[in-house]
């Protein structure tokens, strides 16, 4: 009995605690103007500033009125910065200054009318039944079901989003008429529409998850697969999308743990084994790598495929239309209106589709990226080789014409053993390289990937996201592995010739004398520059930086009262009125 109670799903007693479940952040006039320039860059008409400000004000009132008319509870949060009377006139420069904090937030309460969600659920089911050709299954004919309907928090969120979307839809004016008249729509003045997190529920969930994760009881180990309670709980509160993401990370972490333990034990055993065991260690690494690529990775794919099929069948996902399916329009899609000859209806037609042209541009861009990374990365490679092979300070002073500066052009230690001055120097160098690769290059290639995909002008968000994943994989993979590929196939085979060229007095016309004086203290030793030593320092540093940016940094940002970084300075002068 204790085992059953202990392993029961916790959805029964982890309850939601918040009243307002959705938030809408409205754009101010300056933000609407910038949004229209991005949304319609090819339209020649320029909105009058005073007229636009009046339209934005009216649309704000209309959004609030529509939500109230839909039966939703509404509360306004005015997060305007303190402004003087002189600043209240429409000054574009001043409006841009206050744009990040001068916004209105609308909190939505779907529980104001207790029957509102039940009626929306019936309406949504009726629409879905008609769309599938089963109009006889409409729930409106069985209205007696309504009083006893209860919904999960995830379904309540989806129903609330449907209520908001339908409330802000203009049924009296067709979309193409409104668009061609350059009239503002509701979504032109809405910057964000998102569900709110219940932090109390989050804390309770993760506390229970940690408790059950680290409970290594024999009864738990022998009663089957009990860890799916967390997936079911997340599905109950956040929906299938979040549950699938959590299920993937759960299976990946569970299968990664034995591989990690095996590799750590393998390293520890050889680390404290006596004698020269490098050859055996390298051969064992080759076996482990082959096992990971040919056994572990295929097993992971098989397990995830089975888990996906199980969850899809169990949750009946194929028979549902989620909020992501219903709202799949790409807001940045560039289009014009044209009449479909088959349906005689006005439809959006792409202004351009640069898909084929962008594929040819991509080939040239990959070549330019290699040249760009070579220019930026080659100095680090040469710098690293220099730090590994430069003389000690005592030996450097005996070399004629050499420049000897401790911790710059020479070191006290002969090798990069742990804690030595040469080790600290290489660690600092690896940190700078890691920042370049994982921050500068990563953000640059992510931005370029999004730009290239946006130029292809996809109509749906799902198609845009799929192409963006492919592009980012290509660029980011090339960014991360260029260092290792260049070291393995260029510098190790031809590095000695490069160093000799920089040292030779015969090349004084192309190599500055200062550079030659520095490289005179370099003693090329192929035994020092092995692939493992060249790989391990930047690899460890970059992964450590990844861990900081993906875990510690978001945690610290979340701890700063949930405010975005650009609001830190403005927080002292903000006022909140309800």
- pLDDT average, residue stretch 102-123: 82
d(CA 102, CA 330): 26
d(CA 378, CA 380): 5
Residue 82 has pLDDT above 70, yes or no: no
- pLDDT average, residue stretch 328-337: 75
- pLDDT digits 0-9 by tens, 365-376: 777 777 777 777
Greater confidence (346 vs 137) lies with 346
Residue 574: what pLDDT? 36
- pLDDT digits 0-9 by tens, 17-76: 678 888 999 988 888 888 888 777 766 555 566 778 888 888 899 999 999 998 898 888
Where does the pLDDT of residue 156 fall: very low under 50, low under 70, confident under 90, or very high at 90 and above?
Answer: confident
- pLDDT digits 0-9 by tens, 47-62: 566 778 888 888 899 9
Where does the pLDDT of residue 292 fall: very low under 50, low under 70, confident under 90, or very high at 90 and above?
Answer: very high
Q: Which of 436, 522, 537, 420 is nearest to 487 (CA)?
A: 537
The string of DSSP letters for 79-95 reads: -PBP--GGGGS--HHHH
Residue 469 has pLDDT above 80, yes or no: yes
User: What percentage of residues in the chain have a pLDDT greater than 70?
Assistant: 72
- CA atoms in the 13 A half-sphere facing the CB of 248: 8
Residue 12 has pLDDT above 50, yes or no: no
Output the CA torsion 47→53→54→57 (10° steps).
Answer: 130
Residue 90 has pLDDT above 60, yes or no: no
Where does the pLDDT of residue 294 fall: very low under 50, low under 70, confident under 90, or very high at 90 and above?
Answer: very high
Residue 278 has pLDDT above 80, yes or no: no
Where does the pLDDT of residue 555 fall: very low under 50, low under 70, confident under 90, or very high at 90 and above?
Answer: confident
Where does the pLDDT of residue 13 fall: very low under 50, low under 70, confident under 90, or very high at 90 and above?
Answer: very low
Which residues lie across from 81 on neighbouring strands?
574
Q: What phi, psi does 107 have (nearest 5°)?
A: -100, 135
Residue 423: what pLDDT? 80
Where does the pLDDT of residue 427 fall: very low under 50, low under 70, confident under 90, or very high at 90 and above?
Answer: confident
User: Would you kindly state where each structural domain of the chain is located, as residue ranges?
Assistant: 18-196, 200-325, 353-563
| Region of poorest pLDDT, from 77-91, 397-411, 496-510, 547-561 | 77-91
Residue 518 has pLDDT above 90, yes or no: no
- pLDDT average, residue stretch 169-177: 69
User: What percentage of residues in the chain have a pLDDT greater than 90?
Assistant: 6
| Region of poorest pLDDT, from 13-27, 290-304, 560-574 | 560-574
- Cα→Cα distances 406→7, 243, 379, 393, 413, Å: 63, 56, 20, 7, 11
Greater confidence (533 vs 242) lies with 242
Which residues lie across from 347 on neighbouring strands?
338
- Alpha helix (H) residue ranges in 437-577: 442-455, 461-486, 492-503, 513-519, 531-547, 553-559
d(CA 292, CA 148): 53
Residue 382: what pLDDT? 72
Where does the pLDDT of residue 224 fall: very low under 50, low under 70, confident under 90, or very high at 90 and above?
Answer: very low
Residue 261: what pLDDT? 92
Residue 563 has pLDDT above 70, yes or no: no
Task: Compute how many other C-beta atoms are within 10 angstroms of the C-beta atom of residue 67.
Answer: 22
Greater confidence (211 vs 110) lies with 110
- pLDDT digits 0-9 by tens, 333-364: 777 777 777 777 777 777 777 777 777 777 77
Greater confidence (2 vs 180) lies with 180
Mean pLDDT over the full length of the chain: 75
d(CA 227, CA 255): 14
- Alpha helix (H) residue ranges in 391-460: 393-396, 421-435, 442-455
DSSP 327: S
């Amino acid at each position: 009995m204790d085992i059953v109670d202990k392993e029961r799903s916790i959805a029964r007693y982890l309850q939601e605690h918040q009243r307002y479940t959705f938030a809408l952040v409205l754009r101010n006039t300056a933000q609407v103007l910038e949004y229209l320039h991005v949304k319609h860059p090819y339209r020649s008409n320029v909105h009058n500033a005073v007229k636009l400000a009046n339209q934005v004000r009216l649309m704000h009132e209309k959004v609030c009125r529509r939500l109230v008319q839909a039966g939703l509870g509404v509360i306004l949060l005015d997060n305007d910065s303190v402004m003087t009377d002189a600043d209240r006139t429409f000054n574009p420069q001043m409006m841009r200054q206050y744009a990040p904090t001068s916004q209105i937030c609308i909190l939505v309460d779907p529980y104001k009318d207790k029957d509102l969600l039940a009626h929306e659920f019936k309406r949504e089911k009726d629409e879905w039944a008609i769309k599938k050709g089963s109009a006889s299954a409409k729930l409106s004919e069985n209205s007696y079901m309504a009083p006893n309907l209860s919904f999960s928090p995830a379904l309540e969120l989806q129903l609330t989003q449907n209520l908001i979307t339908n409330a802000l839809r203009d049924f009296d004016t067709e979309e193409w008429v409104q668009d061609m008249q350059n009239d503002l729509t509701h979504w032109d003045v809405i910057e964000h529409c998102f569900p709110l997190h219940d932090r109390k529920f989050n804390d309770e969930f993760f506390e229970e998850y940690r408790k059950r994760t680290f409970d290594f009881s024999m009864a738990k180990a022998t009663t089957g697969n009990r860890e799916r309670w967390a997936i079911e709980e997340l599905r109950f509160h956040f929906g299938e999308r979040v549950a699938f993401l959590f299920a993937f990370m759960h299976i990946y972490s569970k299968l990664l743990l034995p591989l990690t333990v095996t590799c750590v034990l393998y390293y520890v055993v050889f680390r404290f084994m006596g004698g020269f065991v490098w050859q055996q260690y390298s051969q064992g690494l080759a076996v482990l790598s082959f096992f990971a690529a040919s056994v572990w990775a295929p097993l992971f794919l098989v397990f995830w495929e089975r888990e996906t099929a199980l969850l899809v069948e169990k949750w009946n996902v194929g028979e549902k239309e989620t909020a992501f399916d219903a709202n799949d329009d790409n807001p940045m899609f560039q289009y014009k209106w044209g009449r479909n000859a088959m349906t005689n209806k006005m439809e959006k037609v792409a202004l351009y589709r640069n898909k084929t042209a962008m594929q040819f541009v991509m080939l040239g861009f990959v070549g330019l990226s290699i040249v760009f990374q070579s220019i930026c990365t080659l100095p680090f490679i040469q710098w690293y080789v220099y730090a590994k092979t430069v003389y000690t300070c005592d030996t450097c002073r005996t070399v004629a014409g050499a420049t000897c500066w401790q911790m710059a052009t020479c070191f006290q230690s002969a090798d990069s053993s742990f804690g030595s001055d040469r080790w600290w120097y290489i660690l600092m160098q690896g940190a700078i390289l890691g920042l370049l690769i994982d921050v500068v290059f990563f953000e640059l290639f992510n931005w370029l990937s999004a730009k290239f995909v946006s130029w292809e002008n996809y109509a749906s968000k799902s198609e845009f996201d799929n192409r963006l994943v492919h592009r980012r994989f290509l660029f980011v993979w090339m960014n991360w592995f260029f260092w290792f590929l260049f070291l393995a196939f260029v510098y190790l085979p031809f590095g000695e010739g490069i160093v000799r060229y920089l040292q030779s007095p015969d090349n004084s016309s192309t190599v500055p004398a200062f550079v030659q004086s520095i490289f005179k203290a370099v003693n090329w030793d192929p035994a020092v520059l092995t692939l493992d030593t060249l790989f391990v320092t930047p690899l460890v540093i970059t992964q450590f930086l990844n861990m900081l940016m993906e875990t510690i940094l978001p945690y610290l940002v979340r701890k700063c009262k949930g405010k975005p970084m650009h609001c830190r300075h403005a927080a002292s002068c903000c006022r909140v009125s309800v």
